Structure 1
């Protein structure tokens, strides 16, 4: 995986040196007041055509490797088709549709680089029983985004942070 990333960055720097310096690897994890969830990695699972909803792995789980461009775009290109991190209330997902209009970024908070949407770190939850297409959330926590409330009783507030 690291060799492929180095190769990709080498190719990018050959094509456009200014572009390559803005692409960095990043993995996402959650921080929570619930010790069972805090430190869990986030990974995508196929949930429809061109869409991977995001779920929490256990603490020994390494999250999916993403790439970060310009500090505002998270994406993966592991299947040959780029999938971008996206939040469409209430789903957090990776999608081929491209990044949406909700500006993501990171802010240093509580000793971590926390993910923000529109400048706010709140609104992310780890939820069970979300009515996801394949019912993965019956057994796993799904990462959801409720910026104005409305989460169900099976949701626990989390902050999402990155490690590079």
Structure 2
């Protein structure tokens, strides 16, 4: 009897785990300008973050049991849900009326359809971020989409798979480094280190290249920072409303 009870508990726990997974939302488009970009949100109003395209993705939680996707990290204890307000794609407080599901091909569907998402600029968003970055908007009917907007689908990448891929790459790099170290150790040692102008130049160039590649900062990097700062500023207001 005890064994049966434990088995039931284990089954229920397994089902709960299966119904929840962490995902990154990625852009899939025939247009190379936006294909492969990630989706992340940035503060644009009281407990409202607008979703934009950028080089990185916001980590979200997908609940298949109730067809929702949310960010639990912006304001701990108060999930910010992926929602569609009119034609605006947001992540905000309050559960969505739309049904978000990830199909068998790992594409995000809204009320059963993968289509309807567009990347648009100059949307007149509150803080005018769309003047220099693509905002995610939603139009079920293509004829209603803004002129020049780029259609795309959303691919849900499993966070654990992404982490596994990074670990594999790191392991490969470590193996390669080890091989290089072994080859180097087999060579005759020198008592005096010799630094040529070419090696110094190469090192300097590499450092400058690294500095250049990280500046200016990508839009999506600022998104997470703004989420946190926005959440801290709104925390007191939200808590006051809930008390």
TM-score class normalised by the smaller sequence = 0.7 to 0.9
- Secondary structure (helix, strand or coil) at the match of 2:103 reads strand
Q: 1:8 maps to what in 2?
A: none
Q: For 2:109, which of 105, 116, 122 is the aligned residue?
A: 116
Kindly indicate whether the alpha-carbon contact (under 8 Å) linking 1:129 and 1:135 is maintained by their aligned counterparts in 2.
Answer: yes
Kindly indicate whether the alpha-carbon contact (under 8 Å) linking 2:64 and 2:101 is maintained by their aligned counterparts in 1.
Answer: no
Q: CA deviation at 1:153?
A: 1.7
In our comparison, the structure showing a higher alpha carbon Rg is 2
Per residue, is there more helix in 1 or in 2? 2
2:99 corresponds to 1:103 = yes
Aligned CA RMSD, in angstroms, stands at 2.0
2:129 corresponds to 1:136 = yes
Query: Once the two structures are superposed, what CA deviation does each residue of 1:49-80 show, in whole Å capped at 9, x if it has no partner?
Result: 1111100003xx2x000011126210011121
Structure 1: give runs of 5+ residues left out of the alignment: 1-12
Q: For 1:57, which of 43, 54, 57 is the aligned residue?
A: 54
Q: 1:47 maps to what in 2?
A: 44
**Number of aligned residues:** 144
Kindly indicate whether the alpha-carbon contact (under 8 Å) linking 2:38 and 2:53 is maintained by their aligned counterparts in 1.
Answer: yes
Structure 2: give runs of 5+ residues left out of the alignment: 1-8, 159-243
**Deviation >6 Å, runs of 4+:** none
Q: Partners of 2:62 and 2:94 in 1: how far apart?
A: 17
Q: 2:89 maps to what in 1?
A: 92
Per residue, is there more strand in 1 or in 2? 1
TM-score (norm 1): 0.81
- Secondary structure (helix, strand or coil) at the match of 1:137 reads helix
Q: CA deviation at 1:104?
A: 1.6
Q: CA deviation at 1:23?
A: 1.7
Q: 1:75 maps to what in 2?
A: 70
